[in-house]
Structure 1
Amino acid sequence: MDRVIKFVVALFVVIAAASVAYLIFAAAPAPAAASSGANDSIVYYFYGQGCPHCAAVEPFMENMTTKYPDVDIRMLEVWYNQTNQQVYTQVNAQAGISPPGVPEVVIGKTVIIGQQDIPDKLEGYLQAIEKKK
């Protein structure tokens, strides 16, 4: 009888863990492929002071602010600035995701993450925003 109880408890733990893993990984909403929403014209770049990945993206972002002066690019440090941290959380919630970390760019519901993807993908979005103006 004791073995049956241990087996049932172990089975329950495995099922509970699998359910939690499913909710976290499989059921999480994916970032949208195309922008839509009220903040489509605002480009949020979130970074952390001291983050080596953010430091690698910084020259690219500075170049984009110079190259696209008519696009509203907001560069916000979120590790040490509580106000920016609140914006970070709110903008990600509106995009339908939990804040994934930095560096990150959010345009409406479009999210670009990481030191590789931001330089590879962002400029196309900036060109589209500029054309709308």
Structure 2
Amino acid sequence: MDKVIKFVVALFVVIAAASLAYVVFSAPPATAAPSSAVNDSIVYYFYGQGCPHCAKIEPFMENITRNYPDIDIRMLEVWYNQTNQQIYAQINAEAGISTPPGVPEVVIGKTVIVGEVDIPAKLEGYLQAIEKKK
């Protein structure tokens, strides 16, 4: 009788393991939730209200949004807006930046441009490339 119980328990364990393996390995892979970053057609401009560097390029950024109306340029204030701070951290992480560099900052996919000098010098070239893709 002891052997029968051991056999039934062993059979139960094998069936349970096989069932679990079937569920795990036959299920379709989970699809990732759509991510807003790593999308090189969205331009994120992060700035801080009261930041003197951001203030210097504010007219440039306003002109850029007018000159490229068909490009999705998202201007997000991150010093006082907690939701935008979370987006800032997420977008930087997706771009491969573990510690965000500060503001002003532009992120396009995995491209990061920082500062009042580099943003005006480089951003328009990236925007022209985005327009050509459309």
User: Could you say whether these structures have the same fold, taking a TM-score greater than 0.5 normalized by the shorter chain as the test?
Assistant: yes
Provide, for residues 36-63 of structure 1, a one-character-per-residue CA deviation record: whole Å limited to 9, x for no partner: x841000000000000000001110000
Counterpart Cα distance in 2 of 1:119 and 1:78 = 20
Q: Which residue number in structure 2 is paired with residue 95 of structure 1?
A: 95
Percent of aligned pairs sharing the same letter: 82
Counterpart Cα distance in 2 of 1:38 and 1:114 = 21
The question of whether the paired residues in 1 share the 8 Å contact of 2:38 and 2:110 is answered with no
Q: Which residue number in structure 2 is paired with residue 65 of structure 1?
A: 65
Moved more, 64-73 or 37-46: 37-46
Per the TM alignment, residue 83 of structure 1 is displaced from its structure 2 partner at its CA by 0.4
Counterpart Cα distance in 1 of 2:38 and 2:103 = 23
What's the secondary structure of 1:92's corresponding residue? Answer: helix
Q: Which residue number in structure 2 is paired with residue 108 of structure 1?
A: 109
Q: Which runs of 5+ in 1 are unaligned?
A: 1-36
What's the secondary structure of 2:70's corresponding residue? Answer: coil
Q: Which runs of 5+ in 2 are unaligned?
A: 1-36
Letter in 1 for 2:119: I
Q: Which residue number in structure 1 is paired with residue 50 of structure 2?
A: 50
Runs in 1 of length 4+ with deviation above 4 angstroms? none
The question of whether the paired residues in 1 share the 8 Å contact of 2:60 and 2:120 is answered with yes
Letter in 2 for 1:40: D
What's the secondary structure of 1:102's corresponding residue? Answer: coil
Q: Which residue number in structure 1 is paired with residue 127 of structure 2?
A: 126
What's the secondary structure of 1:49's corresponding residue? Answer: coil
RMSD over aligned CA atoms reads 1.0
The question of whether the paired residues in 1 share the 8 Å contact of 2:42 and 2:73 is answered with yes
1:117 aligns with 2:107: no
After TM superposition, the score normalised by the length of structure 1 is: 0.71
Counterpart Cα distance in 1 of 2:38 and 2:87 = 15
Letter in 2 for 1:109: K
Point out the structure with max Rg over C-alpha.
Answer: 2
Counterpart Cα distance in 1 of 2:59 and 2:118 = 14
After TM superposition, the score normalised by the length of structure 2 is: 0.71
Counterpart Cα distance in 2 of 1:78 and 1:96 = 19
Q: Which residue number in structure 1 is paired with residue 7 of structure 2?
A: none
Counterpart Cα distance in 2 of 1:59 and 1:132 = 26
Letter in 2 for 1:87: I
What's the secondary structure of 1:131's corresponding residue? Answer: helix
